[in-house]
Amino acid sequence: MVKINPEVSTLERIQIIGSTLIKLVRGLCMKPFFHSSRSLLLIGKHVSIKNIQRISVGRHTKFEDYAEIQGLSRKGIILGDNVTIGRSTMIRPSSYYGTGEIGAGLEVGNNSSIGPLGYIGCAGKIIIGDNVMIGPRVGLFAENHNFRDTDKLIKEQGVSNKGIIIEDNCWIGSGVIVLDGVTIQSGSVIAAGTVVTKNVPTNSIVYDKKNKVTHGRLM
């Protein structure tokens, strides 16, 4: 059971509990349609879930208001226990219309969260480990457009995707962009606004858009 902060007033507690109960009712109504769903499921208002039969959720999963999840993928969308998908976050492995290649999908470990306004482009497989904190407006793009043939339009040259891995106990700051083929190893911190284009070693701190890496923790 989550404890409400004692500084929260009685009126505010009623508002929080009321809002949570509405999300719980939505979750109960949609629970049978998931590929698998365990225990409580909270779904906010105006959440869009497509191809729900390819989505598996663990205990106490939360989809916040206006989240948009596309389940159409080869390996499905798999969310662990206590996972939160933030407000207005989009998870897109494939086209909504089934055109083009079907994407690989997404796997999120236990106690991890994706902040509001995120974009998870999981055409290539994206794996997010346990206890990962992903801040607002983060973009994970597990796909690249091919463009080397100058005699063809870029959109006619197809795509490549290697996938993205974010290991356990990482903090991905606000506005970070992670590009295809990157592995961020456990215990690492990616500072706000960073564009990550190469692998990040264990317990590193990456900051600014030049991918400067500090091994170990800052003192």
Nearest-10 Cα torsion for 57, 58, 62, 63: -10
Element (H, E) at 14: helix 10-30
b vs e for 176-193, b when ≥16 Cβ sit within 10 Å of the residue's Cβ?
Answer: bbbbbbbbbbbbbbbbee
Q: Which of 46, 60, 145, 215 is catalytic?
A: 145
Please tell me whether residue 42 adopts helix, strand or coil conformation: strand
Contact 180, 142 (CB under 8 A): yes
- CA-wise closest residue to 205 among 165, 171, 167, 176: 171
**Annotated catalytic residue 46:** no
Please tell me whether residue 28 adopts helix, strand or coil conformation: helix
What is the spatial distance between Cα 52 and Cα 114, in angstroms, rounded to a whole number? Answer: 19
List the structure tokens of 24. 């719980």
The catalytic residues are 145
